[in-house]
Structures are given as C-alpha cells and as structure tokens.
Amino acid sequence: MTEHTLTVAGVAVDTRHWIGGRRVASAETFTDVSPIDGSVIGEISRGTALEAAAAVAAAKAAFPAWAATSRAERARILHAVADGVEKRIEELSIVETTDNGALLRSHRRGVMPRVAHNFRFFADWLLKLEHEDFETRGHTNHVSWDPAGPSVLITPWNAPLMLATWKVAPALAAGNTVVLKPAEWSPLTASLLADIAAEAGLPAGVLNVVQGYGSEIGDALTSHPDVRRISFTGSVPTARRIAESAAGNLTPLSLELGGKSPLLVFADADLDLAVDLAVEQYDNAGQVCLAATRFLVEESVAEEFTRRFVEKAATLAQGDPRHETTDIGPNIHPRQLEKIDAFVQRALAAGARAVIGGHRKDTQYYAPTLLTDVAQDSEIVQEEVFGPVLTLQTFSTEEEAVRLANDTRFGLAATLATADAERAERVTAQLVAGTVWVNCFFVRDLQAPFGGSRHSGVGREGGTWSFDFYCDVKNTVTAPNGWKNHG
C-alpha cells in the first residue's frame, strides 16, 4: 500500500485522480466520512481548476482516436468493462455501502449488476443503432450519429456508481471521451471504475476521474471551451449554475434534477398493493429522486390505507446497512440529516401531524416519517426533502387528484394505484411526469426514455435518446445519378 491508497473493508482504493491514464495527486485533500457511523474513511485528493483543465486536455487529446475506433471495438471494450465490474461486485458493493450508506444486499443483488448491465446494454445498442434511409424527391437521406467530443459528467451521491455508469456507458459507446466528477460525499467507486476500465483496455485519456468540491472545480469543467457535452444529476440550484457556466460556449446539457412525485391511490385499488408501493418509498432512506413522496389517497379509503401503511412501516428494520436484515440505512451526511429535520420541524410548527416518525434517531439516522394535515402550498408538499419523509393528502374526485398531483414545479415521475384500466389511461394522460408507473414502481428498462419535465430536468436519456444527446446527429442527402463513372 502507498500513502495514496485506502483499505476499505479489505479493498484497496486509490485516493488520487485518474487523468490521461495515470494517477495524479493534488496538493490538498478532503475528508471522506462513512454515513454508517460517522467514522473517517480517509483523505481524498481535492481537485482544483488545474486538475480539471488537465482532465479536459487529456480527454481532448484522446478523442480523435477513440472517435475513429470502430463500433465493434468500442462495444468489445465496454463488454470487457462489464466483465471487470462483475468480477468485483462484492468489492464494489462493500466499498459503496461504506461510502454512501445504502444497503449492502441491494448493492450485491441489484445495483452493481445493473452497473455491468449499463455497459453491456449501450455496447449492444451501439451495434444496432441505425435509422432507415428514406427518399426525398429521389434523393437519399442517411442519418448517422457522430461522436460529439469530450463530455463532462457530474454525478450524485445517492447511487454513485450506477448513476455514473448510466452516463459513462453511453458517452463512451457514442465515441466520446469522458471527464467524470463524482460527488464528494461518495467518491470511492468512481476511482475503482477507473482501475476496471484501464484493465479492460480502455485507452488512456478516454475516461478521466476528477474528485473534489463542485464549488471549486465545477466551473472549470462546465465552462471549458473544449467540452462538447455536459450531463448532470443533482439539485435545481446547482443545475442553474451549470447552465449559466455552459451558456458561454452553448454546450448542450442533459439535466436530471429530482422531483416531488405523487402516489395516487384510488378507492378501487388493491390496498395491499398500494401500501406495498407506499412503503417502498422509504428505499435508500428516502434518497431516491424518483420516490413518490406525496401520497394522494381517495377519502373513502384514506383511513384504512393509513392504518395498513403504519402497520407495514413498523416492520421495517432501520440500522447498519451491512446487515442482511436491514431495510433502511443512514442518510448520507450529518448536513443532509439536518436539512431533513429542518423540513420536518418547520412542517410540524406549521400544523402538520406526524403519524409516524418526525424526528432524528441519532446523528446518522432519521426515523421514517409520514406527515398529514399538510396544505398543498406548504413547503413540505412543494419542496424535495430527499430523506425518509412522506406526506399524505386526500382527494374526493379524479379531477382533484390530477390537480393535486400536477401542482408542484416538478415533473419527474408519478405512481398510480387503481383497478380501473380506463381511469388509468385517463389519469396518466394528464399527469406531468417523465415516467408514470401504474400498479407498480421502479420498473425501468434502459431502452425507455428517462428524464423529467418542468424543474425535474432537461432532456431524455436511454436507448437511442442517449446517443441523440452524446452525438452530433447528422443527415446526409445524396442526389440520384450524380456519380461519374471511373471504371
């Protein structure tokens, strides 16, 4: 081991940046802390504008050769990256659980296999990416996807590696080079990804990882004139700053910005199913952008729904996310816990009632909370909390349900519980959301479009939509019979 290597649950993790195919240390560091118990994991290289510029320069230098690499070869390397992820699922899982507090069993069974799938899916989609040629007055139109250039990808802390590779995989498949900036609260698996990619044969400079605070290196990345694409997942205020920074170069943006999604429960719904869907919103300690945090329940079944929900929620085990029986782990950081509690205490002071929870359990964990007696225009209904805090309101008509569901500035997702297929069709047609689930939740396919409306984001990713973003889509029009005979 070296001074730049941490041992996390027996796994060696390099704390330096990965730039141009080599490890680069910064003069200063920042402290990485485990949300499980507040213990210090170690010191991580703290990037500056200098490292940001070096990473973009490396990506720019590597771009021509990577863009010229055949589709088949790019796909082969991405599959090799997926192979590397699969060989290290246990290591990646324990490191990420230590770093961000999400359930170890979820990482092992779902999250890390999905990381490998991200690479395999976009590698395979690349090989079948095409648009049928079409004719215009005898002229042939041919659509192609040209690599755009160096791409800056800024990723969040709630599902660090899965959400990073949701961006990295299509960007690399498209022929772009990448500068990945992971969240400072959960940087470790991005460093491991750099190792895995290098071992898989990804050329130097094609993937670069720069760690540090967004406030210190963000503008250097997003305002750089050599950056051709920026993809960001995070908060609305940060997205505004990124958009302002990118505006000078008219750099295209993809933004996924969270939400305040509703769960609509109609009286004809299977209440056991509806309650299961509702309790599922505590997943990852409520730190899920797609979570349906606003329950809208038809008046005639609201009391029974609430009773069953309270009973079901009481069976959830909260504690150490490394334990197989744990259902809810810690929140990511004491600062986030303070933010969550401040939301709840302001809501209680304004007249809300805590059916369950409404308080911290300690410095790392927040009690699963359900608030009622909340006004539609209240902060707790309108603003994203990003913690295990849910609200419940009632409605009497379908029209009222739709009105309440759409009455926020967000529009990322919505979930609907009903036994009436015609109602489902009517309501989903009116909901403002990028994804709507009917009698289910969190069923996602990478070939489907993903993104949000209103303040929940800009653009769609997934399948061909990802390539549309990461590429310059070109149409070539060829006249008929315009060739000279060189035979």
Tell me the one-letter amino acid at 335. R
Per the CB < 8 A criterion, the answer to whether 200 and 88 are in contact is: no
- The question of whether 256 is a catalytic residue gets the answer yes
What tokens does 89 get?
A: 């699922």
What tokens does 394 get?
A: 């009632």
Per the CB < 8 A criterion, the answer to whether 170 and 468 are in contact is: no
Q: Which of 39, 42, 38 is nearest to 29 (CA)?
A: 42
In the set 96, 184, 289, 384, the catalytic residue is 289
Q: First vs last Cα of the chain: how many Å apart?
A: 66
Distances (CA, A) of 37 to 33, 45, 46, 319, 322: 9, 23, 23, 10, 12
Query: Cα–Cα distance between 133 and 292 in angstroms, integer?
Result: 42
Q: Which of 169, 202, 221, 96 is nearest to 462 (CA)?
A: 169
> How are beta strands 29-33 and 40-45 bridged, if at all?
antiparallel
In the set 51, 91, 96, 256, the catalytic residue is 256
Query: Cα–Cα distance between 297 and 35 in angstroms, integer?
Result: 34
- Which helix H or strand E contains 215, and what residues bound it? helix 214-222
- Which helix H or strand E contains 339, and what residues bound it? helix 334-349
- The question of whether 289 is a catalytic residue gets the answer yes
Query: Cα–Cα distance between 215 and 373 in angstroms, integer?
Result: 38
Query: Cα–Cα distance between 124 and 332 in angstroms, integer?
Result: 34
Per the CB < 8 A criterion, the answer to whether 290 and 257 are in contact is: no
Query: Cα–Cα distance between 149 and 472 in angstroms, integer?
Result: 9
Query: Cα–Cα distance between 327 and 418 in angstroms, integer?
Result: 27
What tokens does 433 get?
A: 């959301």
Distances (CA, A) of 409 to 262, 391, 442, 458, 467: 12, 17, 22, 13, 28
- 436 phi and psi angles, rounded to 5 deg: -125, 130
Strand order in the sheet with 457-458: 22-24, 17-19, 207-209, 178-181, 151-154, 229-233, 253-256, 457-458
Catalytic residues: 256, 289
